[in-house]
Amino acid sequence: MSEPLLPPIGMLAELTHRCPLQCPYCSNPTELLKANRELDTQSWLDLFDQAADLGVLQVHLSGGEPTLRRDLEQMVAGLSARGVYTNLITAGVGIAEGRIRALAEAGLDHVQLSIQGARAATTERIGHYRGGHEKKLETARRVRVAGLPLTINAPIHRHNIEEVPEFIELALSLGAERLEIANVQYSGWALVNRDALMPDRASVERQIEVVAQAQERLRGIMNIDFVTPDYFATYPKPCMGGWARDAFMVAPDGTVLPCHAAHTIRTLTFERFGERSLADIWTNSPAFNAFRGTDWMQEPCRSCERREIDWGGCRCQAMAIAGDPAATDPACIKSPIHARMGMLVADAMAAAKAETAGNATAEPFVYRRITTVSEPAS
């Protein structure tokens, strides 16, 4: 039996798809929205007011690069006035001097800074942005000078997984309270680049050992969160805490979604804020109710003792790999196609080997750009 519907407590606001970086692992959709399709200032402020009325306690301001919105301070101030906790998720490049302090004065509570490599060359290669590493380090220093808590987000894949020990030391040197070792999740641009990004199992196992040792060593000094790589997992993670269970996201054009990749489920229709109220969408949207709770589950999920732990895992991953959003997440060992995850890893390793053998000089990535790119078949 499904649990009663509770108000959401968290919201991810993708304010824009514009970004100075071109990261090939980006979770944004491959069909990026241009600036003329973004909600205007007042629409975002109205949306945030309705979110606070609905019960949202924290809003993650993301993108693309949210600091490209000139009205960001106004949004932060509006949320702060409602007592909503705000977290800025930023690439940390192209931010004018004084902007971080201005955001802090507007009421910003926290900054999460993404760094693509612990080494400058890696950061520049992945982000496709010259001088990006130094700009990120300067942003981190400005965050600390402004008195804001800092999280370093390290998106991990084949091309930087051996830098995990250096990421830990870098985060410490920057005075971060938290480090997120976030193994890339294969949706959006990361799915397009899966063969180029997938690490091998030995590297993943070394990474897990390094992180576990650091978590113990730095207990009480710096929190280290570890996002498990799904393709090497035994059990899946709950999607956003469970599909439309306690959080949601909003795309730059106001489309309200249960998670950032939900648009890939083409059988569902997602509504836009303004056409319906946020409360109405949260409560009554057929798309939000499609995979809520447990009643929708097929076997083996329906009778599984973990059904209210992982809530069936990721519906978008089931869609991408099984071709059915209601299927058991293939990351789960109980999935009848769990072995396909290993096959996809093997395919990626074969592609990497062929690339090395061919002495390829071109980058293996499809870099993130505002254009339409087809996602690979599962």
Q: What is the mean pLDDT of residues 210-228?
A: 96
Contact 199, 228 (CB under 8 A): no
pLDDT of residue 228: 86
pLDDT of residue 352: 86
Which residues, in sequence order, are CB contacts of 78 under 8 Å at separation 6+? 45, 48, 49
pLDDT band at 361 (very low <50, low <70, confident <90, very high): low
pLDDT band at 218 (very low <50, low <70, confident <90, very high): very high
Q: What is the mean pLDDT of residues 260-276?
A: 95
Which residues, in sequence order, are CB contacts of 206 under 8 Å at separation 6+? none
Residue 375 pLDDT > 80, yes or no? no
Average pLDDT in the chain:
94
pLDDT tens per residue, range 280-307: 999 999 999 999 999 999 999 999 999 9
pLDDT of residue 372: 54
- Percent of the chain clearing pLDDT 70 (strictly above): 96
pLDDT of residue 358: 65
pLDDT tens per residue, range 223-264: 999 988 899 999 999 988 899 999 999 999 999 999 999 999
Q: What is the mean pLDDT of residues 4-22?
A: 96
Contact 326, 296 (CB under 8 A): yes
pLDDT of residue 102: 98
Q: Using CA atoms, how far apart are residues 38 and 270, in angstroms rounded to an integer?
A: 16
Please check if 23 is assigned to a binding site: yes
Q: What is the mean pLDDT of residues 122-131?
A: 96
Q: Using CA atoms, how far apart are residues 378 and 376, in angstroms rounded to an integer?
A: 6
Q: What is the mean pLDDT of residues 314-319?
A: 96
Please check if 332 is assigned to a binding site: no
Contact 49, 82 (CB under 8 A): yes
pTM above 0.85, yes or no: yes
> What does CATH list as the number for 10-232?
3.20.20.70
pLDDT of residue 239: 81
- Of 101-110, 147-156, 169-178, 344-353, the poorest mean pLDDT is in 344-353
pLDDT tens per residue, range 44-55: 999 999 999 999
pLDDT of residue 1: 39
Q: Using CA atoms, how far apart are residues 181 and 177, in angstroms rounded to an integer?
A: 13
Contact 61, 89 (CB under 8 A): yes
pLDDT of residue 353: 86
Contact 47, 98 (CB under 8 A): no
Q: Which residues of 251-261 are buried (b: 16+ CB within 10 A; e: fewer)?
A: bbbbbbbbbbb
Q: What is the mean pLDDT of residues 91-95?
A: 97
pLDDT of residue 373: 56
